[in-house]
Structures are given as structure tokens and as C-alpha cells.
């Protein structure tokens, strides 16, 4: 089984597959936002939203289960600042 999130023209595309089943693709309906491509050394992103709260988004590398997806990150339209936190 596999689940991968890819960058689509206007949002995110999920691709799901099973060993003996069909591969399916789903385009997620987005209320608004933009793509952000983190730098090569970014381990995580510290996101600041319009209302002042902060959230963290991890950026994966490699060929493991969580690393099959693109490193591009979909940011909600409420995100006003992005700070990259480097690997240590």
C-alpha cells in the first residue's frame, strides 16, 4: 500500500495504491492557499498565521514511507510568515 501527496496545478493530489488493486488519484478541494518549496537544508517549517498562532510542518527526505511525497508544502491562506528550521 502507498499514499503519496503530490503538487497539482491548483492544489494537492493524493495518489493511493494497493498491491493488487487499482491506483487512484484524488484532487483535494482547497479553500485557498499557495505552494511553498523549502530549501535543501530545511528540516521543518515554523508557520505563523494571521491570528498569531504558530504551527510546525516537517519536511521529509529519503525513500521511507513518509518521504515518498514531494517536499513542496501547501500553505493555507492564513499563513503570513514562514521560517525554515535547518537540520542540526
**The model's pTM:** 0.69
Q: What is the pLDDT of residue 65?
A: 58
What does the pLDDT average to over 66-85?
83
Long-range contacts of 12-15 (CB under 8 A, 24+ apart): 12/74
24-27 and 42-49: which strand pairing? unpaired
Task: List % helix, strand, coil for the chain (3-state, nearest 5).
Answer: 5, 50, 45
> Residue 68: CA atoms inside 13 Å, Cβ hemisphere, count?
12
pLDDT digits (tens, 9 = 90+) for 37-75: 899 889 999 999 999 999 999 887 765 555 466 788 888
- Order of strands, edge to edge, in the sheet holding 24-27? 2-7, 12-17, 24-27
Q: Which three cell numbers stand for residue 61?
A: 527526505
Q: What is the pLDDT of residue 63?
A: 54
Amino acid at each position: 500500500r502507498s499514499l503519496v501527496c503530490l503538487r497539482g496545478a491548483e492544489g494537492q493530489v493524493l495518489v493511493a495504491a494497493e498491491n493488487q488493486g487499482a491506483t487512484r488519484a484524488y484532487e483535494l478541494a482547497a479553500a485557498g492557499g499557495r505552494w511553498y518549496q523549502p530549501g535543501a537544508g530545511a528540516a521543518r517549517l515554523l508557520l505563523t498565521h494571521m491570528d498569531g498562532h504558530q504551527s510546525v510542518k516537517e519536511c521529509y527526505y529519503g525513500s521511507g514511507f513518509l518521504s515518498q511525497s514531494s517536499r513542496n508544502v501547501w500553505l493555507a491562506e492564513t499563513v503570513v510568515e514562514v521560517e525554515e528550521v535547518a537540520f542540526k
